[in-house]
Chains A and B, each alone.
Chain A
Amino acid sequence: AQKITQTQPGMFVQEKEAVTLDCTYDTSDQSYGLFWYKQPSSGEMIFLIYQGSYDEQNATEGRYSLNFQKARKSANLVISASQLGDSAMYFCAMRGPSGGSYIPTFGRGTSLIVHP
């Protein structure tokens, strides 16, 4: 079975500073994918970044980067130069062949508030 753990229910950061959102995972799969999504108050889920388990380099997408430490089973999201519009819920998820289903599994989420 797959499990995603996000230990930070809420995070605060000052505008223009960087922030790291933690995510650890547990799986017996050798091949899997890790995702981060942003959910603003509107409710939609916005895909941010993806890291494959065999990718040797950390994924980056603009101001988002994923700090992937495979041995520690962690996939932390780093947001650089925070903006007020970054205030939202952030979900870490993973997808792998566990049980043959490839169903994405989500963490409980972290609420990020960016202060001016």
Chain B
Amino acid sequence: SAVISQKPSRDICQRGTSLTIQCQVDSQVTMMFWYRQQPGQSLTLIATANQGSEATYESGFVIDKFPISRPNLTFSTLTVSNMSPEDSSIYLCSVAQGAGSTEAFFGQGTRLTVV
């Protein structure tokens, strides 16, 4: 199983600022995903982070708002840019070893509050 360290665990930010969330995995993984979970809601996929190429974004999410980096097979960052109170959510990093892997693992999550 993969152990994922996600930082920060929580933050309170001023509107208009940006926050970068880090996701570090203890082993090389093929697939990394970033999710957003708004209060009382389920998880919504933001993007799939691809090593060595640009992230693939889901409908409703754009690179200018949520830039993602994936410099190697063990690390990724998600930046929430120009934040507004509507960005207050839990952001989760998830990894999977490959297409046929049986499990998907999650980081501890980042609880973001924008004031």
Give me the interface of A with B, judged by CB distance under 8 Å: 33, 35, 37, 42-47, 50, 52, 91, 93, 95, 97, 101-104, 106-109
Contact = CB atoms under 8 A, between A and B. Distances in A.
Nearest to A31: B100
Residue among B41, B43, B45, B106 with max Cβ neighbours from chain A (10 Å) = B43
Contact of A104 (B104, B107, B109): B104
Interface residues of B, number: 22
A50 B90 contact: no
A47 B48 contact: no
B interface, over-half SS: strand
6 nearest CB pairs, A to B: A45-B106, A43-B109, A44-B108, A106-B43, A108-B42, A102-B99
Contacts of B53: none
Interface of B: 31, 33, 37, 41-43, 45, 48, 90, 92, 94, 96, 99, 102-109, 111
Given A37-B106, A102-B31, A91 B99 contact: no
Contacts of A104: 33, 94, 96, 104
